[in-house]
Amino acid sequence: MKWNTIKHILGTALLASAMSMQAATAAPVISAVATPAGAVAGHAVGVDINIAGITDLAAWQFTLNFDPSLLQVVSGIEGGFLDQAGTTFFDAGTFDNAAGTISFAFDSLFGPGPGASGSGLLAHYDFNAVGNGPVSFSFSDLLFLDSASNEILVSTSAVPEPATVLLLLLAMGGVMAVRRRGSM
């Protein structure tokens, strides 16, 4: 295969990858950030549920899933993001430490007017660690609404998996090594 063909293929792949990353960041993003990132039995773990890049948010709902062999949820409180737009009604959800879920947590604005826009903290949860290891979370039952009750599509990930980027870089390095070997 000619070097110009290889460069063209890699350039096209990089452009497609960059465009998909741009598209992924266009939607608002919900994330769960644990502090500390790992569980140590007997210690507390705090988890912030953040939203980034949203416009006119008037209500939200989600289920947060976690590993019950590592964590047990203790409490949840409303974050300051939605209440900056007005009076809210918040429910931290139903805690099920056996299943590893916080089901149907929600927050909603009362009355007319624009919703909250930008980025910020939706909720905070406190956990007790009952095991040792890295913690991770996932979301289900996502529902985000604007002030006209229209659904806002939200992503749970805006960054490509590191493994994808690493594989692309390794492939580029391999092609360059083959090219160098061929020119010697």
User: pLDDT 10s per residue in the chain (184 long)?
Assistant: 565 555 545 444 444 454 444 444 479 999 999 999 999 999 999 999 999 999 999 999 999 999 999 999 999 999 999 999 999 999 999 999 999 999 999 999 998 889 999 999 999 999 999 999 999 999 999 999 999 999 999 999 633 334 434 444 445 455 455 556 665 5
118 and 49 assigned to the same domain: yes
173 and 99 assigned to the same domain: no
146 and 177 assigned to the same domain: no
The whole-angstrom separation of Cα 92 and Cα 72 is 15
The whole-angstrom separation of Cα 59 and Cα 157 is 20
Alpha-carbon distances, residue 162 vs 26, 158, 159, 167, 168 (angstroms): 19, 12, 8, 9, 10
86 and 47 assigned to the same domain: yes
Angle at 115 between CA 103 and CA 118, to 5 degrees: 85
77 and 146 assigned to the same domain: yes
Q: Is 151 helix (H, G, I), strand (E, B) or coil?
A: strand
Q: Is the pTM of this model over 0.85?
A: no
- For the record, the structure tokens of 97 come out as 């430490």
Burial class (CB in 10 A: 0-12, 13-18, 19+), 158: middle
102 and 165 assigned to the same domain: no
